Chain A
Amino acid sequence: MASLNALIAVALVYVAFLFTVAFWAERKARRDQGGWLSSPLVYTLSLSIYCTAWTFYGAVGNAARTGLEFVTIYLGPTLVMIGWWWILRRLVRIGRSQRITSIADLISSRFGKSTSLGVIVTLIAVIAGTPYIALQLQSVTLSFAVFAEAGGRTWFDGDLNAAAIWVAVGLAIFTILFGTRNLDANERHHGIVIAIAVEAIVKLLALVAVGVFVVWGIAGGPAQMLAQIDASPISHWEQKPSRWVSLIFLSGAAFLCLPRMFQVLVVENVKESHLRIAGWAFPAYLLIMSLFVMPIAVTGLAVLPADANPDLFVLTVPLHEGKEGLAMLSFLGGFSSATSMVIVAALALSTMVSNHIVVPVWLSTRPGGNAKVAGDVRYVILLARRLSIAGVLLLGYIYYRLSGGGAALAAIGLISFSGAVQVLPAMIGGIFWRGATKVGAALGLLSGLAVWAWTMFLPSLGDVGVLSAALSGGPFGLAWLRPDAMFGIAGVDPLVHGLFWSLTFNVGMFFAGSILSFPTPLERLQGAQFVNVFDNTAETRAHTENVVTAEELLIMAQRIIGGKRAQAFFRNAAERQGKVGYLPEVTVGFIERLERELTGSVGAATAHAMVGQLTGSRGVSVEDLIAVADEAAQILEYSNKLELKSEEQDRTAAALRDANAKLTELSVQKDAFLSQISHELRTPMTSIRSFSEILRDGELAHDDQQKYSNIIHHETIRLTRLLDDLLDIAVLANGQVTLYPQDGNLHDIIDRAVNMAAVSTLKINRNEGSEMFSIKTDLGRLEQVFINIISNAIKYCRAENPELSIRCTTIDNRIVVDFVDNGIGVPAAKQQVIFEKFSRLSDDSTAGGAGLGLAICQEIMQRLGGEIAYLPGQGGAAFRITLPLADQ
């Protein structure tokens, strides 16, 4: 039989299929914003990563050993899901309003955006998650080995390790490819979500197919199956109540606390109302998953030799019956369970590691605010996240190798669950109890982690030399600290024992620490926002903070989330305040919103620290916030409507103020314009008159005659140009101009403009590849605009080695061309008026023009359906030209 080769071929085809699906989903999501990709069905299926290979294979093994107890692993999550109104709805709402990126971020954010809590939770997650990833690698390699054996070849350690390493590398590539595409961990990873939804269907089909085969194909129907169950060695119902209850609780709690579950439940959730479908649909999925577990276990015990590994019954029963196709499907089911779990776990863990450990360390090793390259932080975060993914999988592989991949590993599933569950008290306490503090949370987490490690994790490592002696007799001979019998209470089931003591200490310390410590203002603020998340707590009202300018904030935001997104965000904010341009008023509300936006990328603690660095007034402004928030909450009841109105008034007032300022400026300019234009007209006129008089009087040398007529000629040209400009702008402004739209290429126009502007002193940086847009517009007019901007740069850029960068891209289906020079830029106060007629930055008339250039550009761009704007925060003067894309 060539079954192993066939199996490897099938597995490779399946992997290729998953890549294709993920690519397709990413593309589709980009084109039409999700669509059915973000349906409740997909959300429900994505939750199925709870059913890992450990549950796929292990549930049957568990059933074969302990009977019905296996079902508790599914009952816990069922209770959590049908109780979605209590906890999940709250978590999802908090996750969205606070832009939570991971469970570590949730805890850190709730307790005053604390960096140290983020680190603790991340460590817990990594310690508890690594064995679990090792377990998945083991299950895949074991299932390969089963097929190898069926093909007549026994696998040895070398083969298993090689298989494990290939699987790990493949998973790392998939996760990096689809998991770190967007920086914003708060955004949905459509490719991954769709891939795991497909895998959810595959594993369900596989288990059901094997089950149907066992019930109807071997046993002969449900009634016979039930009879067989009663006749089997696991027929007796002898459930220890403590274990039954503990396991239901443990699985339910782990369902909330496992980083990968938090990722799909909260972070990848697009709509709160998906919970109402998932609330019953996911329990239904779990029910179907576990429906055939007992029948398969019983059949395996009956038909297979006594030494067969029950954990692999799902594979070995069909193989034993000669159903190779079915076994293959079942292998794919197990493979799907393992891969989807590892992908999401690696994604979640890497987000936590990069946001809570790598980035804070990186930031602290650099002097803040020095590097001002847009997107430099963004690059570091992406790199950190990619390396973390590889690191997490490497850890899993190392653990797999160290543990020997034996039965010891199988026992670690529940222990790993118990570790993850240590986050539960801080999480539940954090979202329901305002009195919970950072000190309490840290004490609870650390003591729970310590007791868990002592009573569960260390014993699971087996007999390791010195350690085992210390373990069996208690540390330093202190018998009451024996890990299997704390305080002398022996004879309890080890899982129940460890779970009970770790959570007791955890909750006890959390509570005691919370009531004995006093929270910082930020903790109290966050606490109120988390616990009262449904009261749509008032956003703190705006009061002006003059310490930091909007431009500085924009520069920082650009470093983290990249230019495009930062500019869009600032522009939106400015619009909401009724202002034009990219620089909104720096209000407390705006800073809060900005911080939240950054949180989506780097986590709450880091975002807070970075914004805090700039605003400078951390302590004071937080106290301010508290005061304002309290006051706001008090008057909220009756002032909601009023506030809405006054907000609108504020906006109108801001708009009016702006308009007024502009008008005043304009009227000043108009006066200036009149004197300017008479000056501009008079100067050439005067020289023309005087020189023509000289000429008229005659008796001049030939050379002089030549010289004076030249002057006259030159001056008339200047006059003509001025009058041309005036005419141009008048025509444009009145809409009388005729446009001649033609098809062309943006690249050619920039080429011509650069040539026409006669660039000699200015160095032009272009990325010609990015300029390849076909456009349909009045090419001559567009070229005129480009020439104008380039010649402005030549005239006004005072840098020692003047440079102008031309960058092209698309935003919201519009072409954007940025011209950025390396001069001193335009001061904020002048940015409003440079597009007005006759505005010139400096009073010196060395520049030559009459200050009409940009005004003409603006008129032209409006006629062409585009826009020209000043883009602040780029280092030098920067103009952004926006154009519609040519119709397809």
Chain B
Amino acid sequence: MIPPKTKPAFLDRDAYQTRRLHDAIRAMPVAGTVLLLIPLMWGASTRSSDALVYVFLAWLVLIIASAFISRLLPEPLAEDDEQGPL
């Protein structure tokens, strides 16, 4: 009764790139966490203004990168990206 799975092993170019965009957008919060944890390694001699500038710059970078990737995502959002071939 259970049918054989006949999914292709490889995807065409467009679908492949969409998948990688999904990976990129998944990576955003990870990258954000790393960026925001970096100041914790600084010593107590760090000036507040430097920390301030760093945090806001990192924040801005995250926003711009996220906006950029979101724009590239095809509309409508793909749905079947959970598993499957690479």
Q: Count contacts on A: residues with CB < 8 A to the other chain.
A: 48
Cα of A544 to Cα of B45 in the assembled complex, Å: 75
From known contacts A280-B63, A280-B67, A637-B3, infer whether A236 and B26 are also in contact, taking CB-CB under 8 Å: no
B67 to chain A, nearest CB (A): 4
Residues of B near A635 (CB, < 8 A) are: 1-3
Does B53 lie within 8 Å of A226, measured CB to CB?
A: yes
Q: Which residue, of A235, A272, A279, A294, has the highest number of chain B Cβ atoms within 10 A?
A: A279
For residue A67, which residues in chain B have a CB less than 8 angstroms away from its CB? 48
Given A237-B44, A276-B70, A638-B3, the answer on whether A75 and B36 have CB atoms closer than 8 Å is: yes
Asked if A257 CB lies within 8 Å of chain B CBs, one says no
1/0 per residue, CB under 8 A from A, across B43-86: the answer is 01011111111011001101110110010010111011110000
In the complex, A812→B82 CA distance in Å? 40
In the assembled complex, how far is the CB of residue B75 from the closest CB belonging to chain A, in whole angstroms? 7
Size of B's binding interface in residues, CB under 8 A? 44
Query: Does any Cβ of A come within 8 Å of B5's Cβ?
Result: yes
Let me know if A309 is at the binding interface, CB within 8 A: no
Given contacts A85-B25, A244-B40, contact A230 B48 (CB under 8 A): yes
Residues of B within 8 A of A534 (CB): 79-82
Q: How far is the CA of A78 from the CA of B4 in the complex (A)?
A: 44
A726 within 8 A of B: no
- Whether B28 pairs with A237 at a CB distance below 8 angstroms is no
If A237-B44, A244-B40, A277-B70 touch, whether A78 touches B62 (CB-CB below 8 Å) is: yes
| A78 / chain B contacts, CB cutoff of 8 Å | 32, 59, 62-63
**Which of B49, B55, B70, B80 is close to A229, meaning CB atoms less than 8 Å apart?**
B49
Establish whether residues B56 and A291, one from each chain, have CB atoms under 8 Å apart when the complex forms.
yes
Q: A79-B29, A82-B66, A638-B3 are in contact. Are A68 and B51 (CB under 8 A)?
A: yes
Asked whether A120 is an interface residue with its Cβ less than 8 Å from the other chain, the reply is no
- Among A83, A86, A272, A639, the most chain B Cβ lie within 10 Å of the Cβ of A83
**A283 near B66 (CB under 8 angstroms)?**
yes
- B residues within 8 A CB of A283? 59, 62-63, 66
B52: chain A residues at CB < 8 Å are 68, 226, 229, 294
**Is the Cβ of B22 less than 8 Å from the Cβ of A85?**
yes
Instruction: Give the chain A neighbours of B3 by CB distance below 8 A.
Output: 635, 637-639
Q: If A237-B39, A635-B1 touch, does A82 touch B32 (CB 8 Å cutoff)?
A: yes
SS class, residues of chain A in contact with chain B: helix
Kindly identify which residue among A234, A279, A287, A535 contacts B70, using a CB–CB cutoff of 8 Å. A279
Assess whether B77 is in contact with A276, with CB atoms less than 8 Å apart.
Answer: yes
Q: Is the CB–CB distance between B29 and A229 below 8 Å?
A: no
Q: Decide yes or no: A272 and B77 within 8 Å by CB, A226-B49, A534-B82, A535-B82 being known contacts.
A: yes
- Residues of chain B with a CB closer than 8 A to A80's CB: 29
Is B37 an interface residue when CB atoms closer than 8 A count as contact? Answer: yes
Known: A86-B26, A226-B53, A273-B75. A280 touches B66 (CB 8 A): yes
- Of all chain A residues, which has the CB nearest B43? A237
- B53 CB → nearest A CB, Å: 7
Q: How far is the CA of A229 from the CA of B51 in the complex (A)?
A: 11
Complex interface residues of chain A between 81 and 109 (CB less than 8 A to chain B): 82-86, 89
Q: Determine if A248 is an interface residue (Cβ-Cβ < 8 Å).
A: yes
A73 to chain B, nearest CB (A): 13
B7, chain A: closest CB distance, angstroms: 9
The verdict on B42 contacting chain A, using a C-beta distance below 8 Å, is yes
Given the known A-B contacts A244-B40, A283-B66, A637-B5, are A236 and B48 also in contact in the complex, defined by CB atoms under 8 Å?
yes
- Whether A229 lies near B48 (C-beta < 8 A) is yes
**Quick one: which of A241-259 are within 8 Å of B by CB?**
241, 244-245, 248
Q: Do A280 and B70 contact each other (CB < 8 Å), given the known contacts A234-B48, A634-B1?
A: yes
Closest to A272 in B: B77
Query: Does A307 interact with chain B (Cβ within 8 Å)?
Result: no
Q: Say yes or no: is A39 at the interface (Cβ < 8 Å to chain B).
A: no
Closest residue on chain B to residue A276 by CB atoms: B70
Is A548's CB within 8 Å of the partner chain B?
no
> Which B residues are in CB contact (< 8 Å) with A277?
70
Asked whether A83 lies within 8 Å of B47 as measured between CB atoms, the reply is: no
CB of A239 within 8 Å of the partner chain: yes
Q: Which residues of B contact A308 (CB under 8 A)?
A: none
Which residues of B, 1-28, contact A by the 8 Å Cβ criterion?
Answer: 1-3, 5-6, 22, 25-26, 28
Query: Distance in Å from the Cβ of A86 to the closest Cβ of chain B?
Result: 6
Bound complex: CA A75 to CA B32 (Å): 9
Q: How far is the CB of A289 from chain B (nearest CB, A)?
A: 11
Contact A68 B63, beta carbon cutoff 8 Å: no
Residues B70 and A86 in contact, CB atoms below 8 Å apart = no
Are A83 and B28 neighbours in the complex by a CB distance under 8 Å?
yes
Residue pair A238, B2 in contact (C-beta under 8 Å) = no
What separation, in Å, do the CA atoms of A239 and B22 have in the docked complex?
A: 34
Residues from chain A with Cβ under 8 Å of B50 in the complex: 237
With A85-B25, A273-B75, A277-B70 in contact, do A230 and B63 touch (Cβ < 8 Å)?
Answer: no
A68 to B75, CA, bound (A): 39
Q: Please determine whether B47 and A235 come into contact, CB atoms closer than 8 angstroms.
A: yes
Closest A residue to B55 using CB positions: A71
Chain A residues within 8 Å of B5, by CB:
637
A834-845 vs B: 1/0 string, CB under 8 Å?
A: 000000000000
CB of A536 within 8 A of chain B?
A: yes
Contact, CB under 8 Å: B77 / A237 = no
Are B33 and A79 within 8 A (Cβ)? yes
Using A83-B28, A237-B50, A276-B77 as known contacts, list a sample of 19 further A-B pairs with CB atoms less than 8 Å apart, ordered by residue number in A.
Answer: A68-B51, A68-B52, A75-B59, A78-B32, A82-B29, A83-B29, A83-B32, A86-B26, A229-B48, A235-B48, A244-B40, A272-B77, A279-B70, A280-B70, A281-B67, A284-B63, A287-B60, A634-B1, A635-B2
- A and B contact pairs by CB, cutoff 8 A, 26 listed: A68-B55, A79-B33, A79-B36, A80-B29, A82-B28, A82-B63, A83-B26, A83-B28, A84-B25, A85-B25, A85-B28, A226-B49, A227-B49, A235-B49, A237-B39, A238-B44, A245-B40, A248-B36, A273-B76, A283-B62, A287-B59, A287-B60, A287-B63, A634-B1, A635-B1, A637-B3
The 10 closest A-B pairs by CB, nearest first: A83-B29, A280-B67, A237-B46, A280-B66, A226-B49, A276-B70, A638-B3, A82-B66, A237-B51, A82-B28
